[in-house]
Structure 1
Amino acid sequence: MKQSGGRGKAPPAPPRRRRLPRHVRHALLWSLLVIVVISGYGGVIASRTAVGQALLAQSFDQFVAATAAFGLVVTDIEVEGRETTDAATVVAALTAARGTPILSVSPTRAKEQLEKLPWVRSATIERRLPGTLFVRLIERRPLAVWQHGGLQQLIDREGAVIPVEDLSRFARLPIVVGDDAAANAGMLIDTLANEPELAARVTAAVRVGGRRWNLRIDDVIDVLLPEENAEAAWSRLAQLERASTLLKRDVQTVDLRLPDRLVLRVNAAPVRETTPARKAHSSGKPA
């Protein structure tokens, strides 16, 4: 209310509201608390019977419909961390389109549905009232192609299989071979990443005896890594390659299993055919 000008007579003070006595206020507060507890207990009891569950579900649906009438509906869906998963697939997993009552969206159920998608490792869903659903995804990152038992499967860093049927777009990823190769691939990739130039030439890695790796470089040369100190052996090979282009020679196998030496096996040199010399005649005349 705006004040008028001049020094006119001051308006009378509004009458003071009478406060209820303290004992009355305490009684009302305790009564309200008892009603809430009894209602909650009644809901628990009712949920144990089929009829009670149906009544609770009906009451909840009516409550959600009432909140929608007051504007608590989905108006926006924000997704963070999505790189590979299709946006329409995320919305379908949420089972929530624009206009859906936001309180009808179960974050727990939506999380379960999203984490069933091939590329989603974990998901978090928040209802940000009045109308925003916020989704945070952590997607799987393809690490290698796992070859075992006649199958080829895409795996992530943890060795979990990413259920993708078409592997053609992952042709540049290394192939790891062996029953336990997937579980140990992450550590191997970390070792190779210490020498990125040489790592880019690795086309396959074979797990040997559950203890060590054999690498295939340029799809031609086999490199036998040791069971222990594989990182040091890999760095030593990279240094030799930078200094003398060792792997660009006619090498078949590089054995790094011995810590104090490097054993090379080279391809056998092709046998050259020689033309037999003519025998000279004593007469000096051609035969």
Structure 2
Amino acid sequence: MQQVRRGTVRKRGSQQALLARGIAAPRKTSTGLPVLAQARRLITRTPRTIRLGRIGSHARSKWLVLCALVFGSAVVYGAVIGGQTTRAYDALASALERSAIAAGFGVKKIAVTGQLHATDAAITAALGAGPDTMMLGFDTDAAKTRLETVPWIRHAQVMRLLPSTLQVMVEERSPFAVWQSKGQTYVVDAEGVVLAPALRDAYTDLPLVVGEGAAKNAAALVAQLAAHDDLNKQILAAIRVGDRRWTLKLLSGAEVMLPDDNVPEALASLVKLDGERRVLERDIATVDLRLLDRITVRLRAAEATRLQDATQDDIPTASTKSTPAKGKT
């Protein structure tokens, strides 16, 4: 075997023979360039993309809900702290109301039944409804309460007739008397409720009552006078004195002073006296019925004398309904 130096390859055959024997043949190198022993090849690799595993749909839904709750809570908290909740609510309500009105649910017609004296303006103002009012949000109970504050209206009822009609039914108070107080005249009902300022000439068929407390007590007096139609026709006005009793002013100018109580008996005595002596047809100034056991008539003339009806056995007194003793003056 031929000895070779280190770094040289022993030649024992051709390259093909070496390959056949399983021995790797050295690569041919260029004779013009030096070859580095045991040279290593540099390997460059492209960056790897790392993909994270996807979150499951159920977990993702919970996460989104949690985020929405946190965000919503923050918005609400900020609105409360900033005092914007009322403004936001009003804006939303206003938008909904405008949408409903645009869709045909606004008040377009008001139908009123039972109206006689109350004005259209008073009813409309108390109702508080107009073209910009949404039917669905209209408070009929509150409207009923407001309508019943109108003096002429005793009771009211309000109904919504969709899409755009309000049905209003009212029961009005009835004029009962004309009340004069402090130089002003008003029409009142039987309970003394002032209905409206009024001229006497506009209600000539109603009794005229004057003075403090006259409006509230007029119904009782009118009921007592109803039994004496002839006397009632002669009355010009009833004057309330000290809010205790009445003085009747007659068309002739005479005055009939009634007592504090026992008024029916006093009226019966006057009617009986007038039937027998025609007292009310004379030129008299006053007829005083205030005393319990006598009637005093004062004439207008200077020589006025007092006439006492108590001399008649068949004339009852104002309070006792009994006849006085014969010859009493």
- Residue pair 2:175, 2:188 contacting (<8 A) in 1 also: yes
Q: Partner of 2:283 in structure 1?
A: 250
Select the residue among 82, 90, 100 that pairs with 2:123. 90
**What is the CA distance between 1:219 and its match in structure 2?**
4.7
For 1:220, give the aligned amino acid: G
- Matched-pair identity in %: 37
Mapped contact 1:79–1:134 kept (Cα < 8 A): yes
1:1-287 mapped onto 2 (5 Å cutoff): 51-68=84-101, 71-74=104-107, 76-97=109-130, 101-111=134-144, 113-115=146-148, 117-164=150-197, 166-238=199-271, 241=274, 245-268=278-301
C-alpha displacement of 1:83? 0.9
Cα distance, 1:193–1:126 mapped onto 2, change above 3 Å: farther
Are the counterparts in 2 of residues 75 and 99 from structure 1 also a CA contact under 8 Å?
A: no
Moved more, 204-213 or 175-184: 175-184
* TM-score scaled by length of structure 2: 0.54
Deviations 1:78-130 (A, max 9, x none): 32331112335423543435785322433355345534545334533232444
Contact 2:151 2:195 in 1 (8 A): yes
SS of the equivalent of 1:103 reads coil
Which has the higher Rg, Structure 1 or Structure 2?
Answer: 2
Q: Hey, what's the Cα distance between the residues in 2 that align with 1:195 and 1:61?
A: 65
How far did residue 213 of structure 1 move?
A: 0.9
Give, in angstroms, the shift of residue 203 of structure 1.
1.4
Structure 1 equivalent of residue 322 of structure 2: none
* Alpha-carbon shift at residue 242 of structure 1 (Å): 5.8
Amino acid at match of 1:214: T
Residues 55/217 of structure 1: CA separation in 2 closer, same or farther (3 Å cut): same
Contact 2:212 2:242 in 1 (8 A): no
Match of 1:158, as an amino acid? E
Q: Which deviations, in whole Å up to 9, do the C-alpha atoms of 1:219-268 show, x marking residues without a partner?
A: 51211112111123224434555666542333332222345543333333
For the 8 Å contact 2:245–2:258, the answer to whether it is kept is: yes
Query: What is the alpha-carbon root mean square deviation over aligned residues?
Result: 3.7
The 2-side partners of 1:238 and 1:134 are apart by: 52
Q: For residues 152-211 of structure 1, give each alpha carbon's deviation from its aligned partner in whole angstroms, at most 9, with x where no partner exists.
A: 444333333334265541355433333333332232223223334432332122222332
Q: 1:219 to 1:58 in 2, by over 3 A?
A: farther
Give the Cα–Cα distance (whole angstroms) in 1 for the partners of residues 80 and 174 of structure 2: 43
C-alpha contact (below 8 Å) 1:251/1:264 kept by paired residues: yes
Unaligned runs of 5+ in 1: 1-45, 271-287
Task: Tell me the amino acid that sits aligned with residue 112 of structure 2.
Answer: V
Q: How many angstroms apart in 1 are the aligned matches of 2:207 and 2:81?
A: 55
Distance 1:47 1:98 in 2: 34
1:208 maps to a residue whose letter is: V
Q: Quick one: distance in 2 between partners of 1:48 and 1:253?
A: 80
The code of the aligned residue for 2:219 comes to G
C-alpha distance 166-60 of structure 1, shift in aligned 2 (>3 A):
farther
Conservation of the 8 A alpha-carbon contact between 2:181 and 2:211:
yes
Task: Classify the secondary structure of the residue corresponding to 2:84.
Answer: helix
Q: Indicate how the Cα distance of structure 1 residues 61 and 221 shifts in structure 2: closer, same or farther if over 3 A, else same.
A: same
Q: Structure 1 residues 153, 71: closer, same or farther in 2, change over 3 A?
A: closer
Contact 1:194 1:235 in 2 (8 A): no
SS at match of 1:102: coil
Tell me how far 1:214 sits from its aligned partner: 0.9
Give the number of equivalent residue pairs: 225
Matched with 2:20 is none
Change beyond 3 A, Cα 1:232–1:111: same
Counterpart CA distance in 1 for 2:226 and 2:94 is 55
